[in-house]
């Protein structure tokens, strides 16, 4: 697979499908910097010309976002989206839609090893 900033939804589908399976078939969205991408649910491509507000933010800022969008196909549902960054900048954005309404994110936090957990306040207390 040759992933570029202009790869289309059809071209990135194999990678997005693999990620979809890795996260136990939670919905996945992915797009490249210069082309719209793919939206996958329940093992099927729902849209191969997709973008969403959180993917757009990731592509603009190059930061990780974990929030629920105010609009779009997944309005109100938590999304964890990350950039794919290469030497020449942001190539793509990949999002996992947490249809468990936050349980997936909570489990990811709870299963971290103690040395990976950071305190939540200035007193060094953990929650």
Domains of the chain, CATH where assigned? 9-116 (3.30.450)
Q: How far apart are CA 111 and CA 107, in angstroms?
A: 6
Are the C-beta atoms of 91 and 31 separated by less than 8 Å? no
Would the pLDDT of 102 be above 80?
no
Average pLDDT on 6-33 reads 96
Between residues 25 and 113, which one has the greater pLDDT?
Answer: 25
Strand order in the sheet with 89-97: 44-50, 37-41, 28-32, 89-97, 79-86, 65-67
Q: How confident is the model at residue 115 (pLDDT cuts 50, 70, 90)?
A: low
């Amino acid at each position: 697979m040759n992933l570029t900033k202009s790869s289309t939804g059809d071209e990135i589908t194999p990678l997005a499908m693999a990620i979809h399976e890795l996260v136990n078939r939670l919905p996945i969205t992915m797009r490249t910097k210069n082309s719209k991408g793919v939206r996958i649910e329940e093992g099927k491509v729902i849209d191969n010309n997709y973008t969403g507000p959180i993917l757009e933010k990731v592509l603009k800022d190059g930061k990780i976002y974990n929030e629920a969008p105010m609009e779009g196909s997944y309005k109100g549902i938590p999304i964890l989206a990350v950039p794919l960054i290469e030497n020449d900048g942001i190539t793509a954005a990949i999002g996992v839609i947490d249809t468990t309404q936050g349980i997936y994110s909570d489990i990811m936090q709870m299963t971290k090893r103690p040395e990976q957990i950071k305190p939540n306040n200035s007193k060094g207390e953990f929650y």
